[in-house]
Structure 1
C-alpha cells in the first residue's frame, strides 16, 4: 500500500506541474452517425511461444513448485490475465511451431521426450507444457485457443491428426488416446494457424510455393477440426507481393491471412535499447508504430482485388516493439524491459486496428510474458505488470465495441526527422450503450487541452510518468500505473487537459 500511495502522490505532483504550464489547443470530433464494423475481441489477443521464459516460469511452474500455482499455472499470472479479459492466445509459436511435433507434448510428463529448442537459444525443451497444458490454460483464463500448426517441417496428415486428437468426439483411436491422457470432452480449437512466417523461419519459401502448399494444408484443415477459423501464413510489414500471391493462390481455402509487424527504433542489426534511449528514439519509435496504418491500407486494397466481399480477414498475429535484449539476459531469450514508450506504441497500434475493423479481425501482441513487449515480467517468485499491461487494462472497454470515426485537429510533434500528429484518438460504443474515448498525447514535453464535440460528464483513467523511459521494476513495481482522470465542461463542451506523454481512456455520460 505504501508503494501505491507514493506512486499516486508522484503522479499528482506531475499533473499539478503540467496544468501550470502552457497547453496546446487540440480538437476532437466524433461522427456518431457512421458506426464501423465491430472491434472484435480477438484484436486484443496474446501470443505465447516456447521462447525464453515465456512459458516455463512465465506461465507454467508445475504443480510441485513453491511459487503459488493453480494446477501448475502461476496463480499471479492467471489472475492478472483474467483481469484484462484475454480473448485468444496463439501457441506454440512463432518459429518454434514449425519445428514442433505435437506428439512430444502429450502423455505422462515424465515420459515425454526432451528436444532442443533450435530457434531460441538451443536450450532443452522438456515438453512439460504441451497440448493438454495449453488447452486447459486457455479455459482457465477464459480465452480461445489459436493453435499454430507445423507447415514448415510437418505434413498435412500430422496437422489433421493433431486436430482430431483435440476435437474429436466419438470412438476414434485419437479421441480414445486423448481421454486416456486425461481429457474426456473434446476441446474447441477456435483458430488454426497454418504455417508461420513461411517466407523465413517457417521454411524459407517463395510466395508461389507457400500459396500452393497452404492450399493443400488448408484443404485438410477443412476435413478435420470442425469449424476452426483458418489463418494462412502472410507477409511481413510491407511485403505486399506476398499478400497478393497468397490471396490469389490460396485465399478461398482460408478465413484469414496473417501479417507480422514489429516496431523497431533503428534497424534489425542494432534495434535500440528498451530503456535509457535518447529522446530522438521516442519519436522515431512512435512514427514507426504509426506506419502500420498506411501498410494496412495497402494490404487491404490488395485483398479487396481478390476478395471484394471482404470474406477473408487480416490477422496481425505478431506485433509489438522489438529492442536489443536486456544486457546480462540469456542470449536468444528476447527479454526486454517495457516502458511508457511501449504503452504509447500499444495505444497507437490498437487505435489503428479500431480504424480497420472491416478486415482486421484478430491481432496478437508479441508476447504475453517475459518476451518482447510483454504484459508481465517475472523473476522466479516475483511478478510485475508492465505499462503495456496497464494500457491493455485501460482499453478493455473497446473489446467488442462499435467504433466511430474520430477526427483530430492537432499540431505536429516534430523532433529531428520525425513529424507526426501530436494527438491520436479513438471512440467506440460498447454493448451496453456506453461511449468510450481514448486520447493519446505523443509529445513528451507539451501538455494539451483537447476540446471535443461531446457534452455531459467523463471519467476514466490515465497512464503517464515522469520520464520517457519510466518503467516498473521488481523493487519498484508501481512506477507506471493508471490514475483516476476526468474531463470538465467548458462552454457546453467536454474538455480534457492531458499532460505530456499521456494516455487517457474515459467513459462519456
Structure 2
C-alpha cells in the first residue's frame, strides 16, 4: 500500500475514532476576528544570484523555451497558482552593487559586469527595470524595489524612482517612454539599501540611520504612486537596529526590515546537509526556526514602545532555510535541495507570522527559484515544484484573511536528547470567502498527534482540505520523480460539535471548517 493510500485510510479512521486522554486541544474563537493577515506575508524574493533569475526564470524572448516577454511560461504558470502577492528585487546583497541605468535600453547594448557578490559570474543586465515589471505584472504581483545605498547615491535612487513613477514629460520619464513604457510603473515598496550591517556597507545602526534620513528626504514620487519606504534593519538577536531606527526616524519610514535564516547546526561554516540528515538535525532545524517567534517578539516590543500608533511595520524580508550547497554546484549560487523538512519549516513560520499580523505585514522567503529554500527547481527545460511550494499553495486562503484567536492546550513535546519543541503548531483565520481556515503542523517525525478542535462562535461539522507528508524526513522531489512529495486530500468530521483529527507525523494540514 503506497503512502497516499495509507494516509487516506488513516484520515478515514480518524473521523469516528475515540481519542486518548493525552490529546491536544485546540480552541478557535471565530467570533473575535483579529488583525488581517496581509497577503504580502506570502511575498517572494528574486535576486541576481546563481540561476535564480537567469535560466531559472528568464530565458529571453528569442528562446525556444516557451516564454512570455522572456519569462518561462512553465514557471509563470506555477507561480500564478501561489497567488504571489509581491516580489522583491534586485537583491539582497546584489542590490548594493546594482546601478539601474545599466539595466535599461536595448539589451544588446547593456554593459556586462561581474557579479562579485555571487559567484563572480558575468552579469549581462538582460533583466533590468522593464523586465522585472513585466514579471510582476504577468504574475499580478506588487513590486518591491531595493535601492542601492552601498555603492550608489541619493541622486541615483531618487532618479530611479522618478524614472519608474513619474507621469510627467521630464527627461527621465521620457527616457522610460523611449524604452517602451508609456505609463508609470507601480512601485509598491522601495528599500534604502540592504543588510547595512554586513554586505550593504558594514555600518553601525547610528550611521545607517543618518544615511537613511538623508536619502529618504530626496525619494519622491507622485502621491498616487508613492511607495512605502523600508529601512534596512537587523538580523538574529541584534535589536539595536530596530531601536535606533524607530527612536530616531520620524519621517518617511513605513517599515524596518529584518533577516533571519534557519541553519540546522547554527554555524555558518558548516550548516548541515539539505538531505540525508539524521533526526538530531531535524529537531535542531525545528528548534532554530521556532526562534523566529522570540526574535519578532523582541523587536515588536521595541516598536510598541517607540511607535505605539503602529505606523511602522516589521518586515521579515529575508528568511528560510540555509544549508550547505549541493555537491558539484557553484558555492556562490546557493543551490540546495528542498525536502519535506522545508515545508514544515515554512508552515511553522507562517503560523508565527500570523500571530503578529498587526506589525508583520510583509515577509519574503529566500528565494523563488533555484536559490536556498526555493519554490521551484529547474534544470534546463525541466521544472519541478518543491515541498515548500506546496506549503505556500496550501496556505493561499490565509492571504488577507482575518486572524482568529487560537489556544492550544495539553500540547505534547517532541524531544531528541536535551532538545525539545512543541509537537503541534496551529493557526486560524476567517478567509475572504467567509470560511474558517485552520492550519496544523506536527513537528514530530515519528508519532502522530491526536487533536480535538473546538470552534466557538461557529458550527463545525466537517473539515476539508489538504495534507502534506511523506515517509522519510528528507523526502523530496527530483526531476526523475517530480511528484514524490505532494499534498493529498484531507477530511475530518465532528463528533459532539468538536472536530477529531489524527495529525500524521511530520505533517502540514490546512483545512476549511464547515
TM range (shorter): over 0.9
- What is the deviation of 1:426? 0.4
Residue 155 (structure 2) aligns with: 157
- What is the deviation of 1:212? 0.3
Residue 504 (structure 2) aligns with: 499
Q: Deviations over 1:344-376 (max 9, x none)?
A: 010000110100011101100000000000000
Residue 229 (structure 1) aligns with: 228
413 and 308 in structure 1: CA distance in 2 versus 1, 3 angstrom threshold:
same
Q: Does 1:42 align with 2:40?
A: yes
Q: Deviations over 1:468-506 (max 9, x none)?
A: 000000000001100000112223311111111111100
- What is the deviation of 1:295? 1.0
State which of 213, 228, 232 in structure 2 corresponds to 1:215.
213
State which of 76, 81, 85 in structure 2 corresponds to 1:83.
81
- What is the deviation of 1:249? 2.3
Q: Does 1:420 align with 2:413?
A: no
Unaligned runs of 5+ in 1: 1-5
Contact 1:461/1:483 (8 A) holds in 2: yes
SS at match of 1:425: strand
- What is the deviation of 1:417? 2.5
- What is the deviation of 1:88? 0.3
Residue 475 (structure 2) aligns with: 470
Q: What root-mean-square deviation, in Å, do the aligned CA atoms of Structure 1 and Structure 2 show? A: 1.6
State the distance in 1 between where 2:91 and 2:422 align. 35
State the distance in 1 between where 2:367 and 2:250 align. 27
Q: Deviations over 1:446-469 (max 9, x none)?
A: 112211113211110110001000
State the distance in 2 between where 1:134 and 1:432 align. 31
State which of 197, 203, 222 in structure 1 corresponds to 2:201.
203
Contact 1:208/1:249 (8 A) holds in 2: no
State the distance in 2 between where 1:113 and 1:315 align. 33
State the distance in 2 between where 1:234 and 1:224 align. 26
Contact 1:251/1:312 (8 A) holds in 2: no
Number of residue pairs aligned between Structure 1 and Structure 2: 502
1:339-378 aligned at under 5 Å gives the runs 339-378=339-378
- What is the deviation of 1:250? 2.2
State which of 62, 65, 76 in structure 2 corresponds to 1:64.
62
- What is the deviation of 1:428? 0.1
Q: Deviations over 1:404-456 (max 9, x none)?
A: 12111211111122211100000000122111000111111111221111321
Quick check: 67-76 or 198-207, which moved more?
67-76
Residue 269 (structure 1) aligns with: 269
- What is the deviation of 1:218? 1.3
State the distance in 2 between where 1:434 and 1:186 align. 38
Residue 3 (structure 1) aligns with: none
Residue 136 (structure 2) aligns with: 138
Contact 1:163/1:224 (8 A) holds in 2: no
State the distance in 2 between where 1:42 and 1:222 align. 23
Residue 401 (structure 2) aligns with: 401
- In the superposition, the TM-score normalised over structure 2's length comes to 0.95
Quick check: 62-71 or 327-336, which moved more?
62-71
Contact 1:160/1:224 (8 A) holds in 2: no
State the distance in 1 between where 2:160 and 2:507 align. 46
- What is the deviation of 1:222? 3.9
277 and 338 in structure 1: CA distance in 2 versus 1, 3 angstrom threshold:
same
Residue 6 (structure 2) aligns with: 13
- What is the deviation of 1:17? 7.0
- What is the deviation of 1:331? 2.0
SS at match of 2:272: coil
Unaligned runs of 5+ in 2: none
Contact 2:462/2:499 (8 A) holds in 1: yes
Quick check: 238-247 or 396-405, which moved more?
238-247
State the distance in 1 between where 2:249 and 2:50 align. 34
Q: Does 1:101 align with 2:99?
A: yes
- In the superposition, the TM-score normalised over structure 1's length comes to 0.96
Q: Does 1:452 align with 2:464?
A: no
State the distance in 1 between where 2:446 and 2:430 align. 31
State the distance in 2 between where 1:498 and 1:214 align. 48
State which of 494, 504, 512 in structure 2 corresponds to 1:489.
494
